[in-house]
Chains A and B, each alone.
Chain A
Amino acid sequence: MSSTASVKALFVTGVIALCALMPLIAQAAGQPYYVDLFMRMMIWAIAAVSLNLILGYGGMISFGHAVYLGVGAYTVGICAYHEIESAWIQWPLALGFSALVALAFGVVSLRTRGVYFIMITMALAQMLYFLAVSAEEYGSDDGLIIYVRSFFGSRIYDLDEPLHLYYTIFVVLVGSLVLTKRLVESRFGMVIRGARSNEKRMEAMGFSIYRYRLVCFVIAGVLCGMAGILSANVEKFVSPDMMYWTKSGELIFMVVLGGMGTVFGPVFGAVVFWLLSELLSRLTEHWHLIFGPFLVLVVLFARGGLDGLLARIGARDD
C-alpha cells in the first residue's frame, strides 16, 4: 500500500513540479518554445480533468465536450471583437454561457442512455460547430483573430506577460484538481459515483439522479469553458475546429489513457498525448498511421490507463 502510493505520488509530484518550473527550465535550456507547449498541454489537461468529472466519475460518455472549449474561447474572441476587453466582463460572461449551453445540452441528452447519449452529445456539439462555421461576422471557417488578451485593468497582473499567463493556467489546473478531489469525496460526488455503478439503487434510495447528473454536467461544462477562455488568451485565435467532434474524441482518449475516475489520471493522459503527438509528428509526417493503431492497442490492452499502470507497478513491489 505504501509503495503503491509512493510510485504514483512520485509521478504526480514530478509532473506538477515540471509544470511549475517549466518557465525556468525553458529559459535555462534556451527553448522558449517549451513554455508554449506546456501552456497548451495544461489547457488540454484542464479540459480533460473537467471531462473526467462526467465521464470517469459519472459514467456519462459525452462525445461533445470540446464544444465548451469553443464556447469559452468564442465568448472571449467575440467580446474582444466588439472591443469589450475587460476580463471582469469577458470571463463571467464566458463561464455563464458555458453553463447555459451545458444546462441546455444536459436537459436534452441526460434523458437518454447508452449509445443514444453518446450520439446526442456529439450531434449537439456539431450543432454549435456549424453555428460557428456559418457566423460570417466572426470569421466562419477561418476563425477569429483576437488582437487583445483579456485585460484585468492593471499592469501588475497582465496576461500579456508570458509568465503571468503561464501561472494563471497552472493555478487553474491545480485548482481543477483540488476541485475534483473535494467534489468526488463529497456527498454529491458519492451520489454521482453511486449512480454510475447502480442507477436504480440510487433512485430507490431517493436521489433524483437526473438532477445530480445535470449539475455535474454543468460543472464540467463550466470548467471546460474556463479552459476555452485560457486557450483564447494563449492562441489569440479561435476557430470552429477546436470544437469539431474529433477534438472531443481526443479529450476522451486523454481521460481513458490516463485512467478514468482518478483525480490525476487525465493530467497523465494529456501529458502523454502531447508528448506522443510531438515526438511522432517529428518522426514522420504520417504519424497518425502509428497513433491510430496505438489507440486501438491502448483500448484492447491497457485497462485502467496510466494511473492504473503506475498503481500496479507499485503493487508489484510489495
Chain B
Amino acid sequence: MDWILLAEQGLNGLQLGALLFLIAAGLTLTFGIMDFVNLAHGSLYMLGAFVGATFMLWTGSFFAGILLALPLMFVIGALLEMTVVRSLYQRHHLDHVLATFGLILFFNELVQVVWPLDGLNVPFPARFDGTVELAFGIEYSAFRLMIIAVGLLVAVSLWVLVAKTRAGMLIRAGASNRKMVSALGVNIRLLFSLVFGIGAVLAGLAGMLVTPVLGATSGMGEQIIILAFVVIVIGGIGSVRGAFIAAVVTGLVDTLGRSFLDVLLLAFLPANAAEAAGPALSSMLIYLFMATVLFLRPQGLFPPRGG
C-alpha cells in the first residue's frame, strides 16, 4: 500500500470531518437545546456560501469577505428563528421537518432569483494557493490544511463557550431543563435566538470555506445536510463532543472508503467483481456504518445526559 497516498487521503478525511463538524455543531445544538429538528440547516450553509462569495468578490479578499459575511449570517439566523422557527418549538417533530422542508424550497429558489447566473465562483486566496510540505515528504494543499485548522479552532472555541462561560452555562442548563432556567429569570427566548444565530454562523462559515473549491450553487445544502444528520445521529443528538468525534470518524470512513475499498475488495473478490462493487459499496459505506452504530446503540455513541 502507498503510505503517502494513505496519509493524503487521511488528511482529506480530516478536512471533510472539519466541514461536517462546522455544520453538525449548530444542528446538534439546536436539537439539544430547543428540541428542534432543522432540515433547513443546509440552507444556511448554502446562504453562507452565497453571501460569503458576494462579499469576497466585492472586497477582492477571501478573509475580508468571510469577516463581513459572518455577522450577516448571525442576523439571518436570528431573524429566521424569530419569524418562523420560534412558533414551532411547541409542535411535534413532524411539523418541524415539514416546515423546514418548506424553507429549503424557498431558500433554494431565493438564491436563484437574487443571484440569477448559475451560482457564484471565487478564486483561491493567494496565500493558500499551493501545497505545503509536511513530514516524510508528504505535500498537501495549504487551503485544505487551513480548513482543518479552522475546524479545530471552532471546536476548541465552542468547547470553551459551552463549558467555561456564563452563556455556555445557560445553554447547558437550557438543554437539561428549559422551564427551570426560564423560571429563574433567564430570558430563554433570547438565548434560543442566540444559539440559532451561532448555528447559522457556523454552517455559513462552512459554506464560505468551500466556495473556492465548489463555488456557491442552489441546492448545495441538500447533499451535505444528510451527512451532517449522519454525524449527529452517530454522535448522539445534542452532544457537541459526540458531533466532533463522529464528524472526524465519518469524514475518514467516507474518504478512505472511497479511495481504498476497491483495493481491499480485491483481496476477497475477483477483479471485475471488486471493480463493480467498489464504488457502490464505498458510497453506501457511511450509511452502513451509521446503521451498525444505531443497531448497537440506538441513542448514538454519546447520548447527552439529562434533557
Name A's B-contacting residues (CB within 8 A).
Answer: 55, 61, 63, 108-109, 111-116, 118-120, 122-124, 126-127, 130-131, 133-135, 137, 245-246, 249, 252-253, 256, 286-289, 291-296, 298-300
> What range describes how many residues of B lie at the interface?
35 or more
Bound Cα distance A109, B280 (Å)? 22
Q: Are the C-beta atoms of B295 and A108 separated by less than 8 Å?
A: yes
- Are A300's CB and B87's CB within 8 A? yes
Q: Is the CB of B294 within 8 A of A127?
A: no
Residues of B within 8 A of A109 (CB): 294
Picked from A55, A116, A124, A293, the residue with its CB within 8 Å of the CB of B102 is A293
The closest CB in chain A to the CB of B292 belongs to A108
Q: Do residues A116 and B300 form an inter-chain contact, with CB atoms below 8 A?
A: yes
Q: B102, B110, B298: which contacts A111 (Cβ < 8 A)?
A: B298
- The answer to whether A292 and B283 touch (CB under 8 A), given A111-B298, A126-B226, is no
A253 to B98, CA, bound (A): 7
Please pick, from A55, A61, A123, A296, the residue contacting B233 in the complex, using a CB distance under 8 A. A123
In the complex the two chains form, what is the Cα distance from A31 to B207 in whole Å? 46
Q: Mark B196-229, 1 if CB is under 8 A from A, else 0.
A: 0000000000000000000000000010001001
Q: Would A299 and B102 count as touching, CB distance under 8 A?
A: yes
Query: Provided the pairs A291-B105, A293-B102, A299-B95 are in contact, do residues A134 and B283 lie with their beta carbons within 8 angstroms?
Result: yes
On whether the beta carbons of B101 and A253 are closer than 8 Å, the reply is: yes
The interface of chain B, by Cβ under 8 A from chain A, is 31, 37, 39, 84, 87-88, 91, 93-95, 97-99, 101-110, 112-113, 222, 226, 229-230, 232-233, 237, 276, 279-280, 283-284, 287-288, 290-291, 294-295, 298-300
- Which residues of chain A are within 8 angstroms of B230 by Cβ–Cβ distance? 119, 123
Q: Measured between C-beta atoms, what is the minimum distance from A112 to chain B in Å?
A: 5
Neighbour of B99 across the interface among A113, A137, A291, A300, CB < 8 A: A300
Docked complex Cα distance between A109 and B292 (Å) = 11
| Cα-based distance from A249 to B103 in the complex (angstroms) | 12
Known: A133-B283, A286-B109. 12 other contacts (CB 8 A): A108-B294, A108-B295, A115-B37, A118-B37, A118-B97, A123-B230, A124-B291, A137-B276, A286-B113, A287-B109, A292-B103, A295-B101
Q: How far is the CA of A61 from the CA of B39 in the complex (A)?
A: 14
DSSP majority for the A interface? helix
Structural contact, A123 and B229, CB atoms closer than 8 A? yes
The CA of A108 and the CA of B297, in the complex, are separated in Å by: 11
- What are 23 A-B interface contacts by the 8 Å CB criterion? A111-B295, A113-B298, A115-B37, A116-B237, A118-B93, A118-B97, A120-B291, A122-B226, A123-B230, A123-B233, A130-B280, A131-B283, A246-B104, A253-B98, A256-B98, A288-B105, A288-B106, A288-B109, A289-B106, A289-B110, A292-B103, A295-B105, A299-B102
User: How near does chain A come to B33, taking the closest CB pair, in angstroms?
Assistant: 14
Instruction: Give the residue name and chain of the B residue nearest to A59 (CB).
Output: B94
Q: Are A131 and B280 in contact (CB under 8 A)?
A: yes
Please pick, from B94, B102, B294, the residue contacting A296 in the complex, using a CB distance under 8 A: B102
> B88 contacts which chain A residues (CB < 8 A)?
299-300
Q: State whether B97 touches A120 (Cβ < 8 A).
A: no
The one of A61, A115, A289 that contacts B109, using a Cβ cutoff of 8 Å: A289
- In the bound complex, residues from chain B placing their C-beta under 8 Å from that of A298 are 98
B97 touches A63 (CB 8 A): yes
Residues of A contacting B295 in the complex (Cβ-Cβ under 8 angstroms): 108, 111
- Identify the closest chain B residue to A130 (Cβ): B283
Q: Number of residue pairs across A and B with beta carbons under 8 Å?
A: 127
Chain B residues near A135: list those with CB within 8 A.
Answer: 280
Closest Cβ–Cβ distance, residue B20 to chain A (whole Å): 14
Which residues of A are found within 8 Å of B283, using beta-carbon distances? 130-131, 133-134
Contact call B93/A114, Cβ cutoff below 8 A? yes
Instruction: Across the interface, name the chain B residue whose C-beta is closest to A61.
Output: B94
Choose among B84, B279, B287 the residue with the greatest number of A CB atoms under 10 Å from its CB: B287
A126-B287, A130-B284 are contacts. A295–B98 as well, Cβ < 8 Å? yes
Bound complex: CA A113 to CA B294 (Å):
11
B299 touches A116 (CB 8 A): yes
Identify A123's interface contact among B37, B95, B226, B300, CB under 8 A. B226
Point out the residue from B37, B107, B233 that lies within 8 Å of A120, measured CB to CB.
Answer: B233
Of A122, A123, A294, most buried by chain B (CB within 10 Å of CB) is A123
Asked if residues B294 and A252 are in contact (CB atoms below 8 Å), the reply is no
Contact of A108 (CB < 8 Å), options: B104, B107, B280, B291: B291
Report the minimum CB–CB distance from B196 to chain A (whole Å): 16
CB of A124 within 8 A of CB of B287, answer: yes
A5 CB → nearest B CB, Å:
28
Q: How far is the CA of A252 from the CA of B104 in the complex (A)?
A: 15
Closest 8 CB pairs of A and B: A295-B102, A292-B106, A292-B105, A127-B287, A288-B109, A130-B283, A299-B99, A296-B102
| Distance between Cα atoms of A292 and B107 in the complex (Å) | 8
Which residue of A is nearest B290, CB measured? A123
In the bound complex, residues from chain B placing their C-beta under 8 Å from that of A126 are 226, 287
- Please give, as numbers and ranges, the residues of chain B lying within 8 Å of A122 by CB-CB distance: 226, 229
- Residue pair B294, A246 in contact (C-beta under 8 Å): no
Say how far B18's CB is from chain A's closest CB, in angstroms: 21
Residues of B near A133 (CB, < 8 A) are 283
Q: How far is the CA of A63 from the CA of B104 in the complex (A)?
A: 15
Q: Which residues of A contact B299 (CB under 8 A)?
A: 116
Which residues on the A side are within 8 Å of B222 (C-beta)?
Answer: 245-246
Query: How far apart are the CA atoms of A126 and B95 in the complex, in Å?
Result: 22
Complex contacts, A113 vs chain B, CB 8 Å: 298
Query: Which residues of chain B have C-beta atoms less than 8 A from A246's C-beta?
Result: 101, 104, 222
Nearest residue in B to A294 (C-beta to C-beta)?
Answer: B102
